[in-house]
Amino acid sequence: MEGGSEERGSRGTGVSPVIPPPTPSSRPPMLTLKSVQAGYGPLTVLKGISLHVRPGEVVTLIGGNGAGKSTTLRTICGLLPVRRGVLEFDGQELNRLSPERIVSLGLVLVPEGRRVFSSLSVTANLELGSYHRTDKAQVRRDLEDLRERFPLLRERAAQPAGTLSGGEQQMLAICRALMAKPRLLMLDEPSMGLAPRIVRQVYGILSDLKARGTTLLLIEQNARAALKLADRGYVMETGRIILDGAAAELRDDPEVQRAYLGKGYREVWE
């Protein structure tokens, strides 16, 4: 009897079949850059780059110094104007929007060098992350949730942010960005200047965000850590995307290993 019932259900006369949730790779892109050019003054840094990020993905952009990685994030955030090409978020063109408007849409940046407000307390820094939000009751709940997940934020609540260690400041910068309720969280060199042990802690936080379904766009020189975390990656050189693919494919690419992962890559990685 039970077997017959299940068979009828599968033919549409009983219980509907379970449809698995869509994977990130099957969803339309959330963020899209189409042949984007941008730069500083007369200097064109981005020379027509195209990339995309889907909901729930972790995407990394790797490359050497001066490749244009940070310029890419500054352009997405509206801090630099798009000279040519199109920048879209959920189908809405961002080319002429202010940085404040872009943040309100859910595009939030953790900047290079952390940029915490040194003289303000840990709590004040967190509260500044939610400055554009009007759901104050939910802001308080989100703050409490972060304190539960990261007890340091409660223990150091009144301490000036500038007195924290580099790793603690990076945690604070990430949590400040989370207070903005990002739909897509961008991180610019989160491991810069940190000891290897602290880098592992920071990437532990990012792994937790990935497990929670947070969409991440990660700019890194630490290609090993970035490609281990990411689903997909882009390799950038002198303002152009020269290679892209699944993170596992990029890790195994001989040219990527030679240029960005260094000698002994396989032994270190595995």
pLDDT tens digits along 85-118: 999 999 899 999 999 999 989 999 998 877 888 8
Question: Each residue of 216-235: pLDDT tens digit?
Answer: 999 988 888 899 999 999 99
Q: How far apart are CA 19 and CA 26, in angstroms?
A: 14
The structure tokens 């989160």 sit at 190
Q: Strand 31-40 vs strand 43-53: parallel, antiparallel, or unpaired?
A: antiparallel
Edge-first strand listing for the sheet containing 31-40: 43-53, 31-40, 84-89, 92-93
* Banded model confidence at residue 25, pLDDT cuts 50, 70, 90: low
> Residue type for 55, please?
P
Of 166 and 85, more confident: 85
> Residue type for 195, please?
A
Is the pLDDT reported for residue 268 higher than 50? no
Asked if 236 contacts 62 with a C-beta cutoff of 8 angstroms, the reply is: yes
Please report how the helices 166-178 and 136-149 are oriented relative to each other, as an axis angle in degrees rounded to 10.
Answer: 150
Cα dihedral 182→112→38→43 (10° resolution): 170
Share of the chain above pLDDT 70, in %: 87
Q: How far apart are CA 268 and CA 251, in angstroms?
A: 12
**pLDDT for the residue 160:** 93
Q: How far apart are CA 170 and CA 125, in angstroms?
A: 12
